[in-house]
Amino acid sequence: MKKGWFQNKNGQGDTEQKNATQTLAKSKDFTKTCYYNQKTNIDFCLTYLTTLVDEKIIEQSILSSLLAGDFHSINDIKKIMPLYDVQICNDPSKIEENLCSGYVLLTIETEEKNYGLIAAKKEIVRALSPPEVEISVVGPKEAFVESIATNLNLIRRKLPVKELVIEEFTIGRLSKTKIAILHIEGITNQENINTVRQRLKDIEFDDISDSSYIVQIISDNSNSPFPQLLDTERPDRVAAVLAEGMIAICVDGSPQVLITPTTLVNFFSSFEDYYLNWIIASFFRLLRMFAVTFSILITPLYVAVLTYHYEIIPHDLLSTLITSRRIVPFPPILEAITLELTIELLREAGARLPTKVGQTIGIVGGIVIGTASVEAGLTSNILLILVALAALASFTTPVYKMSNTIRLLRFPFLLFAQLWGLVGIVFCVCIVLTHLIRLTSLGRPFLDPFYPPRWQDLKDSLLMLPFKERSMRPQFLRTENPYRFSKKKASVKKDIDE
């Protein structure tokens, strides 16, 4: 059996199982110890992987009860064991799977067929900590951790209703990752759930170590630079979108929960928006939209205008621009690409280095390199300002993966700007637009509510209207119950003297 022991799922009986235990026995942490119960005169063995089990449980609960308890056959263990997860099994194919997930195997020499499996998992769980990526000033400060049980607990607590359904299964031939699909019955569209379930079951990758793997595998179009599933570390966000009719996917070992189906605007709304007054939230959203457009377009515009369309520049600005470029020996495109790459380098270096060194690099890079290159006459100071502003603007995007996309998008735009000036920029806009129109998330249009235009969904997109106006669930989700509350009740108007 060169191919490995995990293939005995098909269950070919004892030989397979022996093989399995033999492979396991090669590991250093494989332990098989035999004991003798003097009371009932029974020999029994415990097999486990020391790295996975909690020795305290074995010492205090399992061994003590097995050695001292009234123990005659395997069937007795449920009576004497003070543990909740005790299984009695006769299917040998399950053995290695359970051993690998932290169970202790109990065998008695007299009983060949039956054996017991006792859970003695060593739980190493990080304590809850405040969110690190989706930071908010107001609102709850807890974030998901790596344990799926904790994460599900966090969500359940926010939605203590029977309609919240959690489906769980395992994927990944090697990693055996537990995955849970969450949705609210009676709200979420069944078709969506079926699609998600099907896509998850179809995953054939061997090692799923994080939810990001799943994002890439089950996306509608994996060749798109745009993320199509939203990942969040905030339980409140998950609870809120579940109530809207979306689906959440929890992956064991990942502190990020996935949300699907999503639209483009979801990636530009920070969940903190919902904790703010609608006017302020709308302002922030518009600001972010502006920042994104600015971040993508400003350097390409600079290149286009300076390379081709000098007529556009107002007279007063002309002298500023020309003086700043006078001693720069490179064409604008080269200048822009160099600076953009420098900023990317700074970001990448800052991200890879430990926090304290990273900050230093940022300051050193930003100030020293910037000033020096302007003084040396390698770049124009105006472009330096623009590039720095564009980089700053790209960080306003609340979702990390989207801000990466935005920074990447700048480069094709720069290329087209160099080719055909403003025409090239619009050409590139057309390409991106087409791509976005074609993009779907779980078969739902990604560009909703802009296209297809849906007035109802616009209320929580670029602007965020007050709660009173948001009586409907997003239309693109095709929810089974489109109303969040009855609008009639909410919109009873009072007269002046009432």
Both tokens assigned to 497:
């003297």
Query: Least distance (Å) from other proteins to the CB of residue 411?
Result: 10
Site residues for other proteins, window 230-269 (CB under 8 A)? none
Interaction pattern, residues 363-402, with other proteins; x per rule: CB under 8 A: ----------------------------------------
Query: Least distance (Å) from other proteins to the CB of residue 447?
Result: 7
CA dihedral 181, 185, 189, 195 (to 10 degrees): 30
Phi, psi torsion values for 105, nearest 5 degrees: -95, 130
How many residues bind other proteins, per CB under 8 A?
A: 50
Among 137, 314, 488, 489, binds other proteins (CB under 8 A): 314
Query: Least distance (Å) from other proteins to the CB of residue 275?
Result: 31
Whole-angstrom Cα Rg for the chain: 30
Q: Which is nearer to other proteins, 313 or 385 (CB)?
A: 313
User: How close are the terminal C-alpha atoms of the chain, in Å?
Assistant: 83
Please enumerate, as own/partner, the contacts of 371-380 that have beta carbons within 8 Å and a separation of 24 or more. Answer: 377/327, 377/328, 377/329, 378/328, 378/329, 378/330, 378/335, 378/338, 379/328, 379/335, 379/338, 379/339, 380/321, 380/324, 380/325, 380/328, 380/335
- What is the SS3 assignment for 54? coil
Q: Which is nearer to other proteins, 317 or 376 (CB)?
A: 317
Q: Which is nearer to other proteins, 161 or 286 (CB)?
A: 286
Query: Least distance (Å) from other proteins to the CB of residue 293?
Result: 12
Query: Least distance (Å) from other proteins to the CB of residue 337?
Result: 14
- For the beta carbon of residue 466, count every other beta carbon within 10 angstroms: 12
Specify the DSSP element, H or E, that contains 400: helix 400-438
Q: Which is nearer to other proteins, 240 or 382 (CB)?
A: 382
User: What DSSP letter does each residue of 56-122 carry, written as one string?
Assistant: HHIIIIIIHHHHHS---SGGGHHHH---S-EEEE--TTHHHHHHTTTEEEEEETTEEEEEEEEE-B-
Among 415, 458, 462, 463, binds other proteins (CB under 8 A): 415
Among 80, 89, 243, 313, binds other proteins (CB under 8 A): 313
CA distance linking residue 374 with residue 178, whole number of Å: 54
Specify the DSSP element, H or E, that contains 284: helix 278-307
- What is the SS3 assignment for 47? strand
Q: Which is nearer to other proteins, 364 or 408 (CB)?
A: 408
Site residues for other proteins, window 419-458 (CB under 8 A)? 419-427, 429-431, 433-435, 437-438, 447, 450-453
Contact present, 395 and 403 (Cβ < 8 Å): yes
Interaction pattern, residues 184-223, with other proteins; x per rule: CB under 8 A: -------------------------------------x-x
Stretch near other proteins under the rule CB under 8 A, chosen from 29-37, 212-220, 303-311, 470-478: 303-311
Q: Which is nearer to other proteins, 13 or 452 (CB)?
A: 452
Please choose, from the candidates 192, 136, 200, the residue with its C-alpha nearest in 3D space to the C-alpha of residue 170. Answer: 200
Contact present, 80 and 117 (Cβ < 8 Å): no
Stretch near other proteins under the rule CB under 8 A, chosen from 169-177, 270-278, 416-424, 467-475: 416-424
Site residues for other proteins, window 324-363 (CB under 8 A)? 325-328, 331-332
Stretch near other proteins under the rule CB under 8 A, chosen from 26-34, 128-136, 148-156, 313-321: 313-321
User: What DSSP letter does each residue of 452-498 carry, written as one string?
Assistant: TT-HHHHTBTTSB--GGG--B--GGGT-SS-BSS-HHHHTPPPPTT-
Q: Which is nearer to other proteins, 235 or 449 (CB)?
A: 449
CA distance linking residue 133 with residue 353, whole number of Å: 17
Q: Is 323 a binder of other proteins (CB under 8 A)?
A: yes
Query: Least distance (Å) from other proteins to the CB of residue 269?
Result: 21
Query: Least distance (Å) from other proteins to the CB of residue 410?
Result: 14
Q: Which is nearer to other proteins, 102 or 424 (CB)?
A: 424
- For the beta carbon of residue 31, count every other beta carbon within 10 angstroms: 16
Residues that bind other proteins (CB under 8 A): 221, 223, 306-315, 317-319, 321-323, 325-328, 331-332, 412, 415-416, 418-427, 429-431, 433-435, 437-438, 447, 450-453
